[in-house]
Amino acid sequence: MTSLGGGPGRPMRDSAGLGWRLADAAKVEDPRQLDSFAGAPATRLTMVLVTAGRYRIESRHGRGWRRADYAPGSVGLTTPGWNNVLRWRSSGQEPLESLHLRIGPAAVHETLDAFGVPHDDLAGLNTLTVDDPYVSASLSALDQALDQRAPGLYADAVAESVVVHLVHRRLAGPAQRSRIVRDAGALGDRDMRLVLDHMQAHLGDDLDLETLAGLVHLSKHHFLRMFTRASGQTPHRRLIQIRLQHAAALLRTSRMTVRQVAMVCGYRSPSQFAAAFQRHYGVSPSTYRR
């Protein structure tokens, strides 16, 4: 199956502007008959859910043709780099409508990495029809979410669950599944030390989540979850703690002014630093020094 959004179908609505980060979606009205269509190779993991109409679709990749009958609830799945020639004919009078969901590479690769599945194995998900009630129900939920203009908080959670489900059920073996049970998605000791050392070495810099996530080659969303699970704190909270601990040490052992300590520890004003220090230690920096 290949994504038809931008191809022979007529776009009806999409998820642009809704804040869906892990995936984008489009609702499409498909032509009742298609003699031949060669789409561009897919660039994302793409799932197509039939939401209205019935038709027989044929897909050719190379020399052979594959055939499947589609009805509402049917799902096809295309992996990145796959390119099909399609043709179909409606078997009823109702319009043909479908939902096209494209999953971003970060969510896909993070799931593969978490399970220890080689990225090349993703091609094993490519199929003309996915006989899986969970996938059909999840895509139907996203179809409703698109109609209701649901926020990304909901759509991202559902889209991620579909990817995890597919990798768990279709690509991961028993050993890889047991690894997930042992490793609950927390950042490993080596990566945690790399991040903490970077925080310590750049206390005076503006450290954002994207920079820290890039150190361990994760998306911001996945890094935030894994760091928090491993440490019990968000990266922002841990950075504040490190900054204030270093500030306290400087106040005890150096002759730097409170302003200088604030600047060294990443605070842009003494008042901002004093407020944070008071919240953490219960006294002002000047009182702490005395």
Mean pLDDT value across residues 240-251: 91
Mean pLDDT along residues 21-42: 84
**Mean pLDDT, range 244-261, rounded to an integer:** 91
- Is the pLDDT at 178 greater than 80? The verdict is no
When pLDDT is averaged across residues 111-116 and rounded to a whole number, the result is 77
CB neighbours (10 Å) of residue 202?
Answer: 14
Q: What is the third-level CATH fold of 184-290?
A: Arc Repressor Mutant, subunit A (1.10.10)
- pLDDT band for position 213 (50/70/90)? confident
- What pLDDT is attached to residue 2? 43
Residue bearing the bigger pLDDT, 61 or 100 = 100
Report the first-to-last Cα separation within the chain, whole angstroms. 71
Where do the domains of the chain lie? 10-177, 184-290
Assigned token pair, 125: 């998900």
Give pLDDT, residue 175: 60
Q: What is the pLDDT at residue 65?
A: 82
Per-residue pLDDT tens digits for 44-54? 899 999 999 99
Name the CA dihedral angle for 175, 176, 180, 181, rounded to a multiple of 10 degrees: -20
Report the chain's mean pLDDT, rounded to a whole number.
Answer: 85
Q: Residue 99: is its pLDDT beyond 60?
A: yes
Supply the pLDDT for residue 7: 60
Query: Which range is most confident: 33-42, 114-123, 168-177, 207-216?
Result: 207-216
Tens-digit pLDDT profile for residues 61-76:
767 788 888 999 999 9
Residue with token string 């390119």: 83
Q: Which CATH architecture has domain 10-177?
A: Sandwich (2.60)
pLDDT at 142: 96
Per-residue pLDDT at 3: 40
Q: What is the token pair recorded at 16?
A: 């642009």
At 1, the pLDDT band (50, 70, 90 cuts) reads very low
pLDDT band, very low/low/confident/very high, at 185 (cuts 50, 70, 90): low
Q: Work out the pLDDT band at 183, boundaries 50, 70, 90.
A: very low
Q: What percent of the chain has pLDDT over 70?
A: 92
For residue 160, the model assigns a pLDDT of 92
Question: What's the pLDDT at 40?
Answer: 74
Give the per-residue pLDDT at 162: 94
Give one DSSP letter per residue of the chain, joined into a string.
----TTTTSEEEEE-TTTT--SEEEEEEEEPSEEEEEEPPPPSSEEEEEEEE--EEEEEESSS-EEEEEE-TT-EEEE-TT---EEEEEESSSSPEEEEEEEE-HHHHHHHHHHHT--GGGGGGG-BS----HHHHHHHHHHHHHHHTT--HHHHHHHHHHHHHHHHHHHT--HHHHHHHHHS-SPPPHHHHHHHHHHHHHTTTS---HHHHHHHTT--HHHHHHHHHHHHSS-HHHHHHHHHHHHHHHHHHH----HHHHHHHTT-SSHHHHHHHHHHHHSS-HHHHH-
